[in-house]
Amino acid sequence: MIGVEEVSLQVDITPAQAEISVGESKFFECAVVGDAKEIDWYWPSGEKILANRQDVSVTRNDESSSTLTIYNAGIDNAGVYKCVARNGDQQSQATINLRIYQKLTFTSAPSPQEFNEGEDANIICDVVSLPPPKVIWKHKGFKIQMAKDVRFRILANNHLQIRSIKKTDEGEYTCEGLIMARGEIAFKVIKVIVNVQPTIRIRQAELNGTADIGQSVMLACDADGYPEPTVTWARNNVILESGDKYSFNEDGSEMTIRDVQKVDEGDYTCIAKNKAGKSEEELSLKVFVKPKITFLENQTASELDEMVTLTCDATGDPTPSIVWSFGHRVFTEGEQASWTRPEKHKSLDGNVLVRSDARVSSLTLKYVQYTDAGEYLCSARNPIGTDAQTMYLEVRYTPKIQGSVAVYTWEGNPANISCEVRAHPSASITWFRDGQQLPSSNTTNVKIFNAPTVSHLEVTPESQNDFGSYNCTATNAIGQESKEFLLIPADVPSAPSVEEVEPYSSTAQVEFEEPDSSGGVPVLKYRAEWRPKGHSSWAQRVYDAKDGGLSKITITGLKPDTMYEVKMSAINGKGEGDSSAPMVFKTEPVREPTPPKLEGQLQRKGNSLKVNWIKQDDGGSPIMHYLVRYKAKSGADWKPEIRLPNGSEYVVLSGLEWDTEYDVYVVAENQQGKSQPGMLSFRTSPEPTAIPGSDATGLGMGAIAGILIVVFVLLLVGVDVTCYFINKCGLLMCIAVNICGKSGPGAKSKDMEEGKAAFTTDESKEPIVEVRTEEECTPNHDGGVPGEPNETTPLTEPDSPASESTTLTSSTATAAPITAAAKAAPSAPPSVPTPDSAPAPSPASPPQPSPPKANAPPAPAEAAPKIAPLVDLGDAAPAVPLANATEPPKAPPRRAAPSPAPATPEPPKPEERKAPENEATQVEAVKSPSETAKNLPPTQNPDFQIDAANTDLAKDVLEAVAKQASDTAVETTSPPTTTPAHDEKMAIEEKSKPKEVEVKTTVSEVQAVPNEAAQTNANESKA
């Protein structure tokens, strides 16, 4: 604050306010207005400030100003300073209050600060300021919430205390000082390091060493801690040093004892140290002598001729145990079982004997057989190791012949007789037939194929003489063995037996027994034959035999409610056997299908299921479609039914709930009805959990908000474009009218002047009127039949003939019907969309008629569509009745069914167009409203009249239509059915494409429906 006394001298101090921090410098200028002889500065204590001090300086600038400068301001420099100006008896003064504050200053906040895990840590942060600061602590960017973790506490000196500090508390802490009054903030980042006392993990507490073989043993202990501890080893309190006996890895965690001896046995200590402390663990080393087999030899014996003994010697400390094994069989001490015969392992026939004495073990075979030959394993074990060696027992024996004795075939079919031989040493194989060695010069149908252990004799029988016995003889150095093989003629299989027939409407399942005799060779196929009872010809089908046997087949293509007989036969390589006795059955009448068989397969995603079904009997009537329903077992409501065509074989159910049981029903339906449901139950997979730390990132809130805004803008644009094309309104319409100069909703468009019909949206919300006669042949005209129009059924068929007159139908029950009598061109568009069901098509330019051609034949009049475009008359209160209507409306109004899309007329070909004079024969001029009003009978229903106030708009519309029609029309009395219409249709179709023309008044919006011909017949109109 500056105080100024009311004197003739005026004193001002600049700057007017002063606030500086400790250590800053500041100067103040005292300016005097008036003649001042003296200008002096005074301390806050009232003493005059003397010039030329080091900390405070006073300088007289000129006669009217003086400057006070304070250098390196301290707290004691604060106060009210005064500048006094004097001139004789006159004096004036001004004061300035100098406020001095101290900025936030961290006097002690060392980094890093280290603590030992488990102790109470006080993180030092000393900060000073004037006024005193508020201190808050942050960790990992977030303010520490003392209430959530009671281990954290801010002490009175603003230090942060963490009780029982953990390694997880390590990191950067932010000490933040704030002065709320000045909005001043300063912070220091302090790194906190938590040292962890070493812990030792012993890889193996007890180790075994093997002596006298130059083996090395490694003792290992892994030390954890922070900082990383150093590891040393000691034995009997003596630190072990690296040398010839001991060696260490880089971090000392592994110690290797070279050339282990028995004296190395004992306890060793692993010591780990770091800043936080020291830990010790002991390891034990036991030194043994590993077993070693010193004697084991191969042996040779002859079958049944002699006894053989196998011997194994081994050394070790402690004394090893010796075990014999052969293949998967292990022998124990004193065993006397016949181990070579698996079925007699427990019999005590005394063939095998095992004995052990100190370091020697023997295995004795009393009666050697050829199956005893092979590799024997001798294993010596003690607590510290194992040694194993193998020896081979060679057994010499006479050949052993194996193979199937009986072989079946037929004349002309080659057959292999296999003679498998086991022998040591190897044997030679010879074939004989009736004592004569094969092959011989007299046998051309025999071949021999030899392999190391088998010989194949291929015989192709040419007559019955080739069947019979064949001899295989094997010979080696030990002996000889022979075996007879039989080649037997094969036969066709016997007849299978039909056991049961389960008929359906169009199929039947036949259950049968396989033939009693296969003829010696496998049955390859089965033939099923069936026919309606009393018919001469059989239908048939051949089924492949299965490896596991075939007992059921299904025959298809049967007629419902018909008696059939079925028989079966079996087929092998020889041929086809006899057929079974026919079995008579009757198919079911035409009925609903058999339930389909369902199979489910969970998809890769886990909450989707692919349901496959196998079509069963269709009940004698083709399946029309399949109906699929499903629901969660825990829920009561079924999902919406899915209908699929008859050729469907599966459906995929997606978006199911995770880990939930579902029931699925599939029903087949034909003309007779629905089948029983095929049922399937399944459970979806558990919901997968997100993987922490995965690289996948979701959209942020900003991205989601942006997407929503874009979607909203696009939706608004779409609505505006739709309003432009359908209702002729919206922002796009305003731009088209005001900027582009296009005609607006209230203007008379060129299309209306050319007589082109268009639909306009009823902005007055009054009903839209549709005109139709009773004689129109629209689809489902009679009503109540299955084909009655719905939301997707067009009101008219494009090319179906219809009556020339129309019927007026109001879209609401309370709307007053309004019509305008007019004559319509016979080539109206083939299908008329309603304004509330189809958008208005874009305007098209009227086609120019081409010169007439003499060779173009006239088209019949029926080719011209009979329904004229509609023009809304929604808002007009009274209505003008139809010009030639003779009867009042009989039926209540019926709502017009909306059409999905307007029929698009095919563009006319140039050669099909006619001259304007030809068109005029089919077009009559449209009368204006005034002319029509003159012809109205006086007794006409007043509901069909338009008052004078609302006729101007209707006049504009009808006069525009009449003008276009009068330009090309020529009055004619010839009936429409005799007038050429083909060329007129092509030209008029181009003109009659629906175009939107809105005629706005303050009262109503009008749509006129011109009639195709004057209503001279007695057709009734419907409103």
Model pLDDT, residue 581: 92
Q: Is pLDDT at 526 greater than 70 in this prediction?
A: yes
Confidence of residue 283 (pLDDT cuts 50, 70, 90): very high
Model pLDDT, residue 740: 66
Confidence of residue 50 (pLDDT cuts 50, 70, 90): confident
Q: Which of 261, 289, 317 is the last residue of a domain?
A: 289
Mean per-residue pLDDT, 371-400: 90
Mean per-residue pLDDT, 811-826: 33
Confidence of residue 847 (pLDDT cuts 50, 70, 90): very low
Give pTM, 2 decimals: 0.38
923 or 271, which is more confident: 271
Which residues, other chains included, contact 147 with Cβ-Cβ below 8 Å and sequence gap of 6+? none
Q: Which of 1002, 747, 1008 is nearest to 868 (CA)?
A: 1008
Q: How far apart are CA 504 and CA 38, in angstroms?
A: 134
Model pLDDT, residue 54: 81
Confidence of residue 382 (pLDDT cuts 50, 70, 90): confident
| Strand pairing class (360-365; 352-357) | antiparallel
Do both 382 and 429 map to the same domain?
Answer: no
Which residues, other chains included, contact 77 with Cβ-Cβ below 8 Å and sequence gap of 6+? 55, 56, 70, 98, 100
Q: Is residue 72 part of a domain?
A: yes
Q: Is residue 282 part of a domain?
A: yes
Q: Is residue 718 part of a domain?
A: no
Model pLDDT, residue 439: 86
Q: How far apart are CA 997 and CA 843, in angstroms?
A: 10
Model pLDDT, residue 303: 84
Model pLDDT, residue 569: 95
Q: Which of 166, 195, 224 is the last residue of a domain?
A: 195
Quick one: the chain helix, strand, coil %, rounded to 5?
A: 10, 40, 50
Do both 81 and 153 map to the same domain?
Answer: no
Confidence of residue 891 (pLDDT cuts 50, 70, 90): very low
Computed over every residue of the chain, the mean pLDDT equals: 73
Kindly report, residue by residue over 546-579, the tens digit of the pLDDT: 876 778 899 998 999 999 999 999 999 889 999 9
Kindly report, residue by residue over 681-701, the tens digit of the pLDDT: 989 988 887 544 444 445 667
591 or 818, which is more confident: 591
**Identity at 714, one-letter amino acid code:** L
Q: Is residue 847 part of a domain?
A: yes
| Strand pairing class (597-602; 609-614) | antiparallel
847 or 57, which is more confident: 57
Kindly report, residue by residue over 976-1008, the tens digit of the pLDDT: 333 333 343 333 343 334 333 333 333 333 333
Mean per-residue pLDDT, 912-916: 38
Share of the chain above pLDDT 90, in %: 33
Do both 459 and 515 map to the same domain?
Answer: no
Model pLDDT, residue 280: 92
Do both 908 and 1001 map to the same domain?
Answer: yes
Do both 927 and 830 map to the same domain?
Answer: yes
Structural domain boundaries, residue 335: 296-396
Q: Is residue 701 part of a domain?
A: no
As given in the structure block, the two tokens for residue 804 are: 């020339």
Q: Is pLDDT at 797 greater than 90 in this prediction?
A: no
Do both 840 and 944 map to the same domain?
Answer: yes
Q: Is residue 994 part of a domain?
A: yes
Mean per-residue pLDDT, 921-926: 34
Model pLDDT, residue 705: 86
Model pLDDT, residue 335: 56
Q: Which of 954, 962, 774, 938 is nearest to 879 (CA)?
A: 954
Kindly report, residue by residue over 412-457, the tens digit of the pLDDT: 999 999 999 999 889 999 999 888 888 887 788 899 999 988 999 9
Q: Which of 926, 942, 811 is nearest to 880 (CA)?
A: 942
Do both 146 and 261 map to the same domain?
Answer: no
Q: How many domains does the chain have?
A: 8
Question: Under a CB-based contact definition with an 8 Å cutoff, are residues 517 and 493 in contact?
Answer: yes
Q: Is pLDDT at 532 greater than 90 in this prediction?
A: yes
Q: Which of 576, 533, 531, 575 is nearest to 555 (CA)?
A: 531
Mean per-residue pLDDT, 650-678: 91
> Which CATH number do you get for residue 415?
2.60.40.10
User: End-to-end distance of the chain based on CA atoms, in angstroms?
Assistant: 93
| Strand pairing class (113-116; 184-202) | parallel
| Strand pairing class (385-402; 374-382) | antiparallel
605-619, 899-913, 940-954: which is most confident: 605-619
Do both 837 and 952 map to the same domain?
Answer: yes
145-149, 228-232, 975-979: which is most confident: 228-232
As given in the structure block, the two tokens for residue 478 are: 């030990």
Do both 556 and 532 map to the same domain?
Answer: yes
Confidence of residue 36 (pLDDT cuts 50, 70, 90): confident
Q: Which of 677, 672, 678, 668 is nearest to 561 (CA)?
A: 672
Q: Is residue 63 part of a domain?
A: yes
Confidence of residue 17 (pLDDT cuts 50, 70, 90): confident
Do both 757 and 906 map to the same domain?
Answer: yes
Q: Tell me which of 122-136, 812-826, 860-874 is least confident.
A: 812-826
| Sheet order of strands, 428-433 included | 406-409, 480-489, 468-475, 428-433, 436-438
Mean per-residue pLDDT, 776-786: 38
| Strand pairing class (428-433; 468-475) | antiparallel
φ and ψ of 311, to 5 deg:
-125, 140
Q: Which of 892, 912, 929, 898 is nearest to 982 (CA)?
A: 912
477 or 881, which is more confident: 477
As given in the structure block, the two tokens for residue 136 are: 């808050």
Do both 374 and 409 map to the same domain?
Answer: no
Kindly report, residue by residue over 573-602, the tens digit of the pLDDT: 889 999 999 999 999 999 889 899 999 888
Q: Which of 289, 311, 345 is the last residue of a domain?
A: 289
Model pLDDT, residue 390: 94
Q: Is pLDDT at 96 greater than 50 in this prediction?
A: yes
Confidence of residue 1015 (pLDDT cuts 50, 70, 90): very low
φ and ψ of 753, to 5 deg:
-65, -30
Do both 243 and 276 map to the same domain?
Answer: yes
Q: Is pLDDT at 37 greater than 60 in this prediction?
A: yes
909 or 92, which is more confident: 92
Q: 731-738 and 701-726 helices cross at what angle (nearest 10)? A: 60
Which residue spans within 296-405 are E strands per DSSP? 299-302, 308-317, 321-326, 329-331, 352-357, 360-365, 374-382, 385-402
Q: Is pLDDT at 667 greater than 90 in this prediction?
A: yes
Q: Tell me which of 263-272, 457-466, 599-608, 926-935 is least confident.
A: 926-935
Q: Is residue 733 part of a domain?
A: no
Q: Is pLDDT at 862 greater than 90 in this prediction?
A: no
892 or 613, which is more confident: 613
Which residues are bridge partners to 60 per DSSP?
66
Model pLDDT, residue 956: 52
Question: What are the residue ranges of helices labelled H in 186-319?
Answer: none
